[in-house]
Amino acid sequence: MKELLEYYEGLGFVATSNDKYDQLTLSPNFVFEKGANTHAIVNRSSDSLAVSIISRFATTKRIPSRVLELYFFFSQKPNPTILSNCKLLGIGILYLNSKKQIEIYAESKLIKGRQKVPSLPRTQMFFCSRQDLEERKVAESIIIDQRDSLKVPIFAMMVENDQEYSNDIRDLWPIIEKCMDACEYVLVVLSGPKREIIEKEAKRALANYDPSELLFYVKSDKETIEAYEGLLKEASDHGVKFQEYFDLRAFKLIFNLRLMKIIKQLHADNNVPFLESL
C-alpha cells in the first residue's frame, strides 16, 4: 500500500523482504527496517480480527540483535474490541484515516532480542620441531600466558598430546596429518641436526598453508642452516619469511611479538575490540 510505504519512508525505514524473519508466527505483508529496529506489519482487509490470530502473532520469538515491533494495518479505524485485544497482547494497530493518512491506534510492545556479542573462534597452532626442544616449551608457555591474560581461545597443538600418539614412527604420520589439519597456524622451529620427520612436517605445512599462517624460526648456527638449507630455500620460494634467532631469549621475544600480531588480527577479523594498552 502506497500510504504505508510513504509513511515508513518518511520515518527513515527501508522496506525489506520477510524471508529472513522466520521467527514471525504470522507472515507479514510488509517488513521495514531502520538500524536495529524492525517493524513487521500484517494487512487486514476487513474489520474482523479473531483474538486467536492476535495471540498467534504475539508469540513471535525474539530476533537476536534486533528490536521488533508488530502491527496490524487496517484501511479504517477498527472497533474497540480489536483495540482492547491488541493492547492486551502487545500488538500495535495502524490505520488509514479519512484523509488517507496513517495513524497509530495502539503502540506495539518492543520485542528486544539478545545482543549477539562478537566472539573469537577457537584457534590452534601446530608445533613442528624436535619434541625435546626448549623453544617448544617456551612457545607453549607464551601461548598459555596470552590466552589467560587476554582471554583469547588460542591453543598449542602438539602431536605427543594426542590420545592416539605412539612412539612407533610407522603409526605417527596419520596422527601428525590429523593434528595439523585441525590447526589454523603452524609453528616451525628448526634447530640442531636434520630430522627427516620435521622436514616432512614443514613441507606439508608449506603445501597446505598460506605464508601468513606459517611461523618459521631457524636457530642461527652453522649446523642448523646447513642441515635445513633445502627446506629454507623451499620456504622462501613459497613466500615464507623465516626468522633467525641466536638464543632462547631472542626466540621468546620474536615469537611473543608474532603471536600478538595474530591475536590482534583475530580480533579485527571477528569485530572484537582489542585493548591496545594490554
Question: CATH number for the 2-112 domain, one of 3.40.1350, 1.10.3470, 3.80.10, 1.10.1740?
Answer: 3.40.1350
**At a CB cut-off of 8 Å and minimum separation 6, what does 19 contact?**
none
Give residue-wise pLDDT tens across range 56-106: 999 988 888 889 999 999 999 999 999 999 999 999 999 999 999 999 999
- For the 123-269 domain, the top CATH level (class) is alpha beta
Q: Output 3-6 pairs: Cβ under 8 A, ≥24 positions apart.
A: 3/96, 3/100, 3/101, 3/102, 4/30, 4/41, 4/73, 4/94, 4/102, 5/30
Q: What percent of the chain has pLDDT over 70?
A: 96
Return the pLDDT at 23.
80
Give the domain ranges of the chain.
2-112, 123-269
Q: Is there a contact between 92 and 60 (Cβ–Cβ < 8 Å)?
A: no
> Cα dihedral sign for 181, 169, 157, 215?
negative
Per-residue confidence (pLDDT) for residue 276, from 0 to 100: 46
Q: Which three cell numbers stand for residue 214?
A: 606459517
